[in-house]
Amino acid sequence: MPKDSAAVTSLQVASGPARATVKPTRLLWLLGPALVAGVAYLDPGNVASNMTAGARYGYLLVWVVLAGNLMAWLIQYLSAKLGIVTGKSLPEVLGIRLRRPLARRLYWLQAELVAMATDLAEVIGGAVALNLLFNVPLLAGGVITGVISMIVLSVQTRRGPRTFERVIVALLLIIAVGFTAGVFVSPPDPAGVLGGIVPRFAGTDSVLLAASILGATIMPHAIYAHSALARDRFPQSLGRAGIPRLLWATRWDVSIAMLIAGAVNLAILLLAASALQGIDGTDTLHGAYLALQATLGPVVATIFAVGLLASGLASTSVGAYAGAEIMHGLLRLRVPLLARRVVTLIPALLILGSGFDPTEALVLSQVVLSFGIPFALIPLVWVTAQRSLLGHFTNRWLTTAAGTLAAVLLVALNLLLLVLTFSGS
């Protein structure tokens, strides 16, 4: 019997409270899907948004990172629960419930545009990292990033979800070290951090960056991907008897993943606020790298660039997985992952070849993602509240209320962004 199945079976036959019966060694075999989905919260778009926010406004937007991470925990848990209980991903559920072909295609179109914006950020981030580390031209760096991501995706196709998880988690560890090392060399100001917890803005640009941070933190494709990852990891043939304990293990999985993602995102902003604020050019990845090199030394700067490269490689692989699931669930078309990877690489290569500022493209891509959040989040909260779909595992009213509140806040922030932008204030 496969180890994953043995772990689940042991949970099904265990008696008594889950906390007393689940052995740590067994629990470890049930962790993984959230860590893979959590890579989406540490993509190069996060780096650009958080670095720019810290360099421009210091600790002002610390509260945005914290609030986004809290909302992300609930959102990712609901996504995983949907995949475990129903055996279907969110795109598959919506593909069934949106019965009119036009509605399915329009929904797919917006989801596809969001997925493309995600991929754009991730490939650009990998290209910039290769340029910083090895002076590789940006266009060539984009091609290399795309090729390596194809190799990573082939692992998922040929070796299955567990091996794919191991590769992504290894890259996740590199990302965590790369983006947090600088904070230990240049510690943040405790008073500034505490002051940044108070919600406030400082003009239109700070609202734009807040929307960008949220778009990078709560990523629509992570919502779509997590339900599919959980579905693939815990097949329905294992039976429904073990679902409560699988959900318990999933809460641990999501908590660990979001703790890592939140700590790293916060570290990026704090590093920029403590070491890069007031330095010209630090609102670009290249400028931030040079500033880190000048202020904290070449070792910290190099570690940062290695983390950026790992971020681009891991997140673009997960993004391609999510994009393929979106197309399969909504259009009922199964496109090979590698073929899709080639097609979705084109927009990023066009941007890199055009000479457009890569950091600006990263930040703008995160804003696009923030507008795609409601289209993923609202349906997720809605379907997980349907007793006809989830039965005994449907959301409690408090969970639905919290998810609804998160959706309302995110939509309100985007509307505020539009008003401030077009009013010129």
Give mean pLDDT, residues 401-407: 91
Tokens 């510690």 locate to 187
Residue 418: predicted pLDDT? 64
Span 111-131, pLDDT tens digits: 988 888 888 888 999 999 999
Give mean pLDDT, residues 394-403: 94
Number of neighbouring beta carbons within 10 Å of residue 41: 25
pLDDT classification of 355: cutoffs 50, 70, 90:
confident
Q: Is the pLDDT of residue 15 over 80?
A: no
User: What number of residues does the chain have?
Assistant: 425
Is 285 in contact with 361 (CB distance < 8 Å)?
Answer: no
Q: What top-level class would CATH report for the domain 26-71+88-226+239-423?
A: mainly alpha
Average pLDDT, rounded, for the chain: 85
For residue 280, give the amino acid letter: D
Kindly report the pTM of this predicted structure.
0.87
Q: Is the pLDDT of residue 19 over 80?
A: no
Position with higher pLDDT, 41 vs 363? 41
Is 84 in contact with 243 (CB distance < 8 Å)?
Answer: yes
Residue 404: predicted pLDDT? 93
DSSP for 84-111, written as a single string: HHHSS-HHHHHHHH--SHHHHHHHHHHH
Q: In this structure, what are the phi and psi dihedrals at residue 376, rounded to the nearest 5 degrees?
A: -95, -40
* Contacts made by residues 396-399, CB under 8 angstroms, sequence distance 24+: 399/74, 399/78
Measuring CA to CA, which residue among 87, 62, 46 is closest to residue 391? 87
Measuring CA to CA, which residue among 227, 223, 314 is closest to residue 264? 314
Residue 37: predicted pLDDT? 92
Residue 194: predicted pLDDT? 96
Whole-number Cα distances in Å, 47 to 85, 212, 357, 391: 34, 11, 15, 40
Cα(273)–Cα(267) distance, rounded to whole angstroms? 10
Residue 182: predicted pLDDT? 94
Q: Is the pLDDT of residue 321 over 50?
A: yes
Residue 414: predicted pLDDT? 72
Span 97-106, pLDDT tens digits: 999 999 999 9
Structure tokens given for 163? 């091996």
Q: Is the pLDDT of residue 144 over 50?
A: yes
Contacts for 298 with CB less than 8 Å, ≥ 6 apart: none
Give mean pLDDT, residues 397-421: 82
Position with higher pLDDT, 398 vs 5? 398
pLDDT classification of 196: cutoffs 50, 70, 90:
very high
DSSP for 117-163, written as a single string: HHHHHHHHHHHHHHHHHH---HHHHHHHHHHHHHHHHHHHHHH-HHH
Cα(331)–Cα(104) distance, rounded to whole angstroms? 7
Is 272 in contact with 55 (CB distance < 8 Å)?
Answer: yes
Residue 199: predicted pLDDT? 92
DSSP for 41-58, written as a single string: GGSHHHHHHHHHHHHHHT
Residue 283: predicted pLDDT? 72
Please report, to the nearest 10 degrees, the dihedral formed by the alpha carbons of residues 149, 157, 217, 414 taken in order. 100
Residue 25: predicted pLDDT? 47
Please report, rounded to a whole number, the percentage of residues in the chain having pLDDT higher than 90.
Answer: 52
Give mean pLDDT, residues 381-407: 94
Measuring CA to CA, which residue among 276, 249, 258 is closest to residue 186? 276
Q: Is the pLDDT of residue 17 over 50?
A: no
Residue 425: predicted pLDDT? 47
